[in-house]
Structure 1
Amino acid sequence: MFRYKTSLLTPILLLALVLYSTTSQSNNTKNWPKTVAIFDFEMIDTSGGMIQEEIIAQNKRLKIITRMLREKLEESKRYKPIDISPAKKEIEYWRGGFHACNGCDADVAKKLGADLSLVGYVQKVSNLILNINVFMRDTKTGKLVEVQSVDVRGNTDETWTRSMSYMIRNRILDDKWSHMKE
């Protein structure tokens, strides 16, 4: 009698699992790509050493990793970066402070018609210790849907781009780490 119940239960559970996974996949793929307003990366320098040449080099690197992120997310087909230039005044108002404005980025992105907002910043502790941080919010709710960070060792073009590449490939677009799954 016990064997009979188990053998009947197995096909029912398998059918339920197949139906659930098919429904989940079809619901999720309908929502891709997500439009995302990717704001320029910001710098938080707590190193105490503000040398003009370093500031110029770091500003260049901020532009490089911002462009890199936009390109790689678009190539993934999961995200469609949108033009943020229509919000130039609001962006300038918050320049350097999007990371600390308690979700104002989601409001700006929502006005632009984006599903998501993405704010990133580089925190420099010293010329040897930095980290790159990314925060993604749902513009409808304002809630964080993705938070990722990578440590950077060394303040060079190569260390910044390698770290950004790692974050994109192994955090943001990797289903094991990312909260934004297909």
Structure 2
Amino acid sequence: MRYTAFLHVPGFLFAASLAAATAQTAAPPPVKIAVFPFELEDFSAGAAYVQPDEIDREQLRLATEEARRLIVESGRYQLVDVSAANEPAAKAGKLHDCDGCDAKIAADLGADRSMLGIVTRVTRTEYAVTYKIRDANSGKLLDVKQTDLRMGANVAWSRGARWLIERRLLGQ
């Protein structure tokens, strides 16, 4: 009987060490993130005369979709539906002007983080794409990254968003 128990001890030790190693390498649960629709901030000379149009709105939508797709595919984040946000700044697409109110909105939606994407139009052919990530509970700014697009059209906004998400957010 002792001999049989002695033979099983190495098997039990191996199983225990395998279980411990598996527990240590298990990925942490995904972070719940509220990715708000990308917004346009227009500083171009024509901003007072040429209002954002359907093309601008479509390109912002595509940039938002691309960012969300990459974030979900990473497995590191879980998207929180932001369509239920009723704050006036969210409805008006002016979260970039509300001094971090996106964090509170994200917290109210059950998210751990908020992400705001901003396309800044410098001229009609020069843009900057930025994302800002805040802790939803404290409102603390956790990450800000930006990329410039020179001599490009607004169809490049989603490419800028993709570059930022792949190389900055997910590349960290």
Does 2:166 correspond to 1:169? yes
Cα offset for 1:136? 0.5
2:138 corresponds in structure 1 to 141
RMSD value, Cα: 2.4
Distance between the aligned counterparts of 2:39 and 2:92, measured in 1?
8
Identity of aligned residues (%): 34
Cα deviation for residue 38 of structure 1 reads 0.8
Which of the numbers 91, 102, 107 marks the counterpart of 1:105? 102
Q: Paired residue for 1:85, among 77, 83, 86? A: 83
1:113-172, Cα deviation, whole Å (9 max, x unpaired): 000011111110112211011000011211111111110121231x22222221111111
Residue 51 of structure 1 deviates from its aligned partner by: 3.9
Aligned length in residues: 149
Larger relative contact order (CA 8 Å, sep ≥ 6): 2
Cα distance in 1, alignment partners of residues 104 and 132 from structure 2: 14
Aligned position for 2:93 = 96
Q: How does 1:29-40 map to 2 (within 5 A)?
A: 29-30=27-28, 32-40=29-37
Larger radius of gyration: 2
Letter in 2 for 1:118: M
TM-score relative to the length of structure 2? 0.77
Confirm or deny that 1:65 pairs with 2:63. Answer: yes
Name the CA shift for 1:60/1:163 in 2 (closer, same or farther; >3 Å). Answer: same
Q: Which has the higher helix share?
A: 1
Change (3 A) 1:162 1:72: same
Call closer, same or farther: CA 1:142–1:121 in 2, change over 3 Å: same
> What letter matches 1:40 in structure 2?
P
Partners of 1:97 and 1:161 lie apart in 2 by 19
Unaligned runs of 5+ in 1: 1-24, 176-182
